[in-house]
Structure 1
């Protein structure tokens, strides 16, 4: 394996969109904070958090009182006008999708267009609040929009991406080696990437990403099982499992301080 930087591990502790009956995620705000702290203690550098509506500022404050984990505010499906409270909470990072949401989950369907004008507004607003954008990439068409923003000098390097695989709906892509290699082949320069895989191919794509210098996201939102058919006890168990795999492959795990330097936060 090449001498890649340490692996950055993201924990996504929200509910499972495709396995709603597996109840191993936090049900309350206090439980959410506790889950994030436990993930931090076993190796997660980033917490991808769906900040509870109406509690955004308080939730970020309470997490920071407990640990130094990088806070990444999720729910990029919302239009920018509905995310003012996320900005006011001043997380370290903010999730932004580079094209549009077209997702078909067990209990809900999400179809939300995110225009280039909205993406430009995100760039300006993130600079205003000193928040690092995390760009969600569902297919290579997302790169056209990213290059547009880069060419307009709206972004600072490195560009932090999360590549999504096997999320059901019109922006679905297969969780295969071919798709992963295709996606990283066409990434713009100065990008760092993390993979997010729904379903049982998660470990296969995660190991491929680790071997190619990528980073990994795990947690109940993406795949709530520690093995096929066996729900994890909690998110910390999912994080611990990926820490072990990365170390066995020869890549140590970045702590939050190291991750901040790598990500330019």
Structure 2
């Protein structure tokens, strides 16, 4: 059991949730406000994607990231900024009989330096590194992260002094994470996010969670989350397994059946679960000390 737990709020994500809930933030102001709302509710970390303000579609425009980060840093609320670096590895095949040429409408492939551009310009305390290639049950879509790409992105993140949060979607991704650490591309303290419940990745049951936890070195710091209705049960499981937690509208849009949530609602619910278990929810400064983060802005 982890008795001092930090909460990450994943405030918007890149999925098709905008059409399902009017509470999902879209514009830079809305995304920044959601991060601040989450912090006031008890989140120490805000995990941030950006979206096209006109369409709500996922984006990796550095200018959008810059506006979000500037708004958060200029606010009177302290929260650790964790920017996604997962965009730019999207492939959509042309179909099951003719995979090539690729579907240009959804394919978005970028080099390592371009994928880390916004991290280089804004220097958040944390950024994500999706540690493997993954199917998401979306037809011909593949999230693509080759070993070469991951090694170069990890090298650049570490050189910038930004802590990579290694996103692990399945057991083999932990093998890659261990290689990155062994090769000196990621430095201690190592930070892992266990991403469960996503179709064709690691299931969100207790046995799978514990197998992932037992496969990690004991000195690694980890969080875990699941999606949809399993978001809150995973809060309890993650803390009981010795980890930290992630909630937010990236992963689940409901507070309960039929009731749409805000990010603040989900953080408050998670904090209540943790406190009910006897755990203390810790804030940004304690997390910075734990993970040796450099406060920016």
Asked if Structure 1 and Structure 2 have the same fold, meaning a TM-score greater than 0.5 normalized by the shorter chain, the answer is: yes
**Distance (Å, rounded) in 2 between the aligned partners of 1:247 and 1:95:** 28
- Mapping 1:23-172, distance limit 5 Å: 23-51=22-50, 53=61, 54-66=63-75, 67-79=77-89, 80-83=112-115, 84-105=117-138, 110-168=141-199, 170=200, 172=201
**Distance (Å, rounded) in 1 between the aligned partners of 2:131 and 2:196:** 15
**Matched pairs, number:** 258
- Bigger drift between 77-86 and 140-149 goes to 77-86
Q: What is the aligned partner in structure 1 of residue 268 from structure 2? A: 240
Q: How far has the Cα of 1:113 moved from its partner?
A: 2.2
Which whole-Å deviations, capped at 9, do the CAs of 1:115-149 have from their partners, x for residues lacking one? 22222212221122210000000111011111111
Contact 1:16 1:22 in 2 (8 A): no
**More contact order relative to length (CA 8 Å, sep ≥ 6):** 1
**Distance (Å, rounded) in 2 between the aligned partners of 1:48 and 1:94:** 8
Correspondent of 1:205 among 234, 247, 260: 234
1:9 paired to 2:7: yes
Correspondent of 1:194 among 210, 223, 237: 223
Q: How far has the Cα of 1:62 moved from its partner?
A: 1.8
- Cα 1:28–1:57 change in 2 (3 A) is closer
**Distance (Å, rounded) in 2 between the aligned partners of 1:146 and 1:117:** 13
- Secondary structure of the 1:68 match is coil
- Secondary structure of the 1:95 match is strand
- Cα 1:29–1:57 change in 2 (3 A) is closer
Ranges in structure 2 where 5+ consecutive residues have no aligned partner:
52-60, 90-111
Q: What is the aligned partner in structure 2 of residue 179 from structure 1? A: 208
Contact 2:254 2:260 in 1 (8 A): yes
Q: How far has the Cα of 1:27 moved from its partner?
A: 2.5
**Distance (Å, rounded) in 2 between the aligned partners of 1:192 and 1:59:** 27
1:260 paired to 2:283: no
Task: Report the aligned-residue RMSD.
Answer: 1.9
Ranges in structure 1 where 5+ consecutive residues have no aligned partner:
none
- Cα 1:58–1:142 change in 2 (3 A) is same
- Secondary structure of the 2:47 match is strand
Which whole-Å deviations, capped at 9, do the CAs of 1:158-195 have from their partners, x for residues lacking one? 21111111113x4x222111111111111134211111
**Distance (Å, rounded) in 1 between the aligned partners of 2:218 and 2:288:** 19
- TM-score between the two structures when normalised by the length of structure 2: 0.81
- Bigger drift between 249-258 and 118-127 goes to 118-127
Contact 1:57 1:89 in 2 (8 A): yes
- Cα 1:77–1:187 change in 2 (3 A) is farther
- Secondary structure of the 1:104 match is coil
Which whole-Å deviations, capped at 9, do the CAs of 1:74-118 have from their partners, x for residues lacking one? 15142424321232111111111111132235xx86413212222
Could you list the structure 1 runs, at least 4 aligned residues long, displaced by more than 3 angstroms after superposition: none
